[in-house]
Amino acid sequence: MKINSIQIITFLILTSSLSITAQVELKDFPNKPKTGDCYIKRPNDSKFVKISCELAKINKNRETKALQYKLKNLGYDVDIHGILDDKTIKAFELEKRDKKLREKLMKKRERKRLREERKLRMKK
């Protein structure tokens, strides 16, 4: 079977157009991202934004809508549409920080309670 010049030209055009498309898709991607950094393309302006990898995993597993419902129930101003937007990213980061602070406070209270129990046992 002979390969004619039209087939070769068609193949070259298709492969070069795919290569150009891939370059256009990544033109806004950071030049030297650090290992372990996660990025996502914003839906409104198609720019890449650095996000927490935990949030990237949620988005990959298509659990964004569930996250938005959870954040909405916690009182954050989030639109529920299943797309990671700036409001969702900001609310997620705030909730993550608040959760860490709550856990730290709980540990502090627990340590204080244990100290007081030890003091009571020492007095007896």
Total domains present in the chain: 1
Domain of 43 in residue numbering reads as 5-123
> What pLDDT is stored for residue 37 in this prediction?
80
Radius of gyration over every alpha carbon of the chain, rounded to an integer in angstroms = 26
Mean pLDDT of the chain: 81
**Whether the predicted model's global pTM rises above the 0.85 cut:** no
pLDDT for 40 beyond 70: yes
Report the C-alpha gap between 88 and 68 in whole angstroms: 7
Output the CA–CA distances (angstroms, integers) from residue 89 to 55, 72, 94, in the order listed. Answer: 8, 13, 9
pLDDT for 66 beyond 70: yes
The two three-digit tokens of residue 29, written as one number: 């991607």
Residue keyed to tokens 């039209």: 6
